[in-house]
Structure 1
Amino acid sequence: MKSVLLSERKLAEKRFSCYIGCMESNVIKYQRIAGILRERIRRGIYRPGDKLPSYPQLCELFEVSAMTIRLAVALLANEGLLRRERGRGKGVYVTPPPSAPEKSAPVLRRLCILPAAPTLRSDDPAIQQGVVQAVNAAETSLVLMPALSGAARREYLAHLLDGAGVDGFLINGQIFASGEEAFEVIDSFRERQVRCLLLFSAEDACSRDFLGRNHPGVYIDEQSALASALAVAAAKGKTRLLFAGVDRYSVERSLDVARRSAAGSTFALEPVLFDELAAKSLFREFEKRLLPELDTATTLVLEGSNLPLSYFDALLNARELKPGRDISVFYFEHYCNLDPLFGARYSSVTRPYGELGRAAGLLLERMVLEGTPGEVLRIPADFNDQGTI
């Protein structure tokens, strides 16, 4: 009796182990088949809306039981890759991928302009006008930041970002003392995922760096305008350009733009720097240092950022010299602070500040209302040929 019970127990254990082995085999098989079907869906062999082969066809294809196929289909249905239809058109279908949720445009609560109104140069009211229009359209509040530098600027920016809810900045790139300072500020914005547009109203190394990095903003293209001025000078047989000014940095920047504009040409480019002297002394300096240099091969470029050009105009009138006939001259200035009467009488390379403001406003509107990250706009500066070369 005891031996019979022992035999029956061994038989039951054997049957149970066979059942477990069969289950383990089916588990491995259905997971393998699910993996094959998943990969075919990923590669587009089975596309969204396609009907899979029937269960008997899949059983024959994979040489497995119907239960294994059902387990594989159930697994992929739970993953959202397949759906089972009953009734008319019954079968297993590939599920279309879920549509991505619509991204709402980021809300720009407060926009900050650097620097603040009391320290803005004469070009900035036009810029502000375009910006204010964009701010009003987007129902966004506007903050004007004091013109600070160094540690004071960093501290104030941290206050705006952390305490004042400012999440967008419009920065005139010329306020930075160096490219390193500019990149430090912009990198701090990027770390906090704060949007920023740059305005460069003159070409310099900093603006070219940001352009090279494709940073969103509006950039003045002085080089193209100066290139057209040099082409006029070359066509009239000029081979030498004298860049005259008071501010060394502005003169050197003009020379830098001119070197790139005149690349491949035979122009000789030379600076002439004046001290900021009293009016009578400067008048004499113009007469002593400039007039003797102005031969038929030379064009004088007056760098007008800080140069009182009315004295030069008075000198020409006193000597009865006519630009375009007796001397070749035009002006090239980075900031819009020239005497309008002087500008109306001489060929010039000018900055279209009104267009700069409108472009900045348009970019801001798109950034705020449409949620675009911003883009790069290059605005050509003008060369107005008044026949003085």
Structure 2
Amino acid sequence: MKFSGGLKYCVIVTISLLSSFSLTPASHADIHVFAHAPRAWLQDVTLQGLMEGGIMANPARPASGINFGDFLADHANQGQLNQVSLTLSRALDDAVQKYQIGFVIQGLYGSDARYYHLLGVSDHLTSDRYQLIPAQAHLDVHLPWATPHGVDLKLGILQAPMGVEVLDPSARPFYTLAYTSQYSVPFEHLGAMAHWHATADLDIHFGIDTGNQSTWGRNASNTSMAGYLGFTRTGLAHGKITVNALSRLGPEDSVNALGIRADSAQRYWNDLSLRYDVNDRLSLTGEVNFLHDVGLRAEAYSFVSFLSYRISPDFTFNYRGEIYRDNGGAFVVSFLNNRAYMNAFLNKYAPAETAPPTTYGAMTLGLTYRPPVLKNLRVFALRPEIRFDRSLNGTTPFNAGRNAGMFTFGGDAMIGF
């Protein structure tokens, strides 16, 4: 998981049949901030904006007011502003065989920010529900080395590359996230990540960082580094299949909780993903995940399946089904105040709802509606969804510990330029 303590020996094997879901129309032209600048480099700098808000209603009205196991729509029956983000960037072009410099700077304000801080960077700015983070701030360099498409290097504040569902709501099919996407993959890093384009169809990924949502000194869970190694293979089955495999290794647990043992108690994350585009309308995605951490002596494993079917140019039907096993009850937690999630990294005061070892089953059904009159925008979408969560082994983790199952419904709306 991503809070303090120590997971045990964690091997996340994520077969992530990635759905390349996106609400962004390919024909959209980016806003070039310095279109008339005398230097060509500045002319390629672009600006994007996005606003998203939503609600997940819970007829059971849990006494805690929390939808258990749901970070982004955690407050039952309450609408919230999840994100307002601005992204200034200059992209790299792998097809150009020369040295290049680019960057990404993204600021994000909203309720989602509570879960994506870096320790010591933004986690103490406020205790309000709506918080501010530097979601990304990295320098990008293209190095024309070794192969025709070279190496791309990113240095700074990076969004974690592992997993199917991401922070950007326009790049995922649902408002809510799967258990796997919340509890078994990292969120943010301070470090460096390299992508070597070994062939036209094969990328090799490797990187090093200070830990999941951790930095240095008093603002670090421990004093050790962590890192990634993996690959992406495209072009399989006449371009219909894409495979991603990513492993991560390093201590992630808090010295405040485990003592100096936290500096050597390894967490192993492995993520294997595959997407199959059946045709222009239908895409299938799945994710298998196994997590084991030496410090917590606990593990979690899961399978997530996705289906996306474009009914018409304006409507897309989405399905997600998941089985998630939290073997020691160490991972699936819902936090009860706005700073509890980040406080848990350092073993500080973090009131939370927890559950015993549980096998979770979840199914989510949704529609994405993009009105044709607004297609000149980069993003405009309405996404209603219904979700069914259930304990499959008899525990009662939902609705403040009263029920073995939970039914929620709602969705989000987003607009972006």
- Normalised by the shorter chain, which TM-score bucket? under 0.3
Q: TM-score, normalised by structure 2?
A: 0.21
* Larger RCO: 1 or 2 (CA < 8 Å, sep 6+): 2
Q: TM-score, normalised by structure 1?
A: 0.22
User: Which has the greater radius of gyration?
Assistant: 1
**Relative to total residues, which structure has the larger helix share, 1 or 2?**
1
